[in-house]
Amino acid sequence: MYQVGFDFEVKSKDFDEVIRMDLDVKEVSKYLAQQKNDAYRKLFTSEIIVTADTVVIVEDQILGKPSNSEEAKQMLLQLSNGKHSVMTGVCISSNDKKISFDDSTNVTFKKLDVNEVDFYINKFWPYDKAGAYGIQEWIGMIGIETIEGCYYNVMGLPINKVYDCFKNEFAITPY
């Protein structure tokens, strides 16, 4: 966000991402962003807080963060030669206002061979990424054929929508 003109400070807090079973998969990222925002609001009462959560959805199934290399490999091979959606939910709040929204980007991977998947898992860190990949990393560079929507959304934050929310809902601009 610094490149967009906003100074900010990143805060980290452990958060248990518990998903309600009655939620549609397309509601999960926004729900988690709201839950995170509520947790941070208890700690930081006077700041503007931005929280986000990103999920990968393939065939109405959420692919979270893999817990080991075998799970990462399974996820990447599931994404191979197909299309999936990346949804990022965002929640921005101040003392008197709370705005939530989400963004969706469709991503199409070429057919990945097992050697490419193994190379990525061994050379990069897929364990902190929904769907086991980062679009800005090697597997994204060589494997993604098309994206429909916001590139930055796939990275984890639809910056254009966050900027518009700051400007239109909170009257904050870098100028």
How far is it, in rounded angstroms, from Cα 114 to Cα 132?
Answer: 14
How far is it, in rounded angstroms, from Cα 76 to Cα 27?
Answer: 23
Write the single-letter amino acid at 91.
C
Q: Which of these, 153, 121, 157, 127, lies nearest to 139 by C-alpha position?
A: 121
Query: What are the tokens at 164?
Result: 């518009």
- Active site annotation includes 53: yes
Catalytic position from the list 7, 24, 38, 53: 53
DSSP state of 20: P
Q: Which residues are the active-site residues?
A: 53
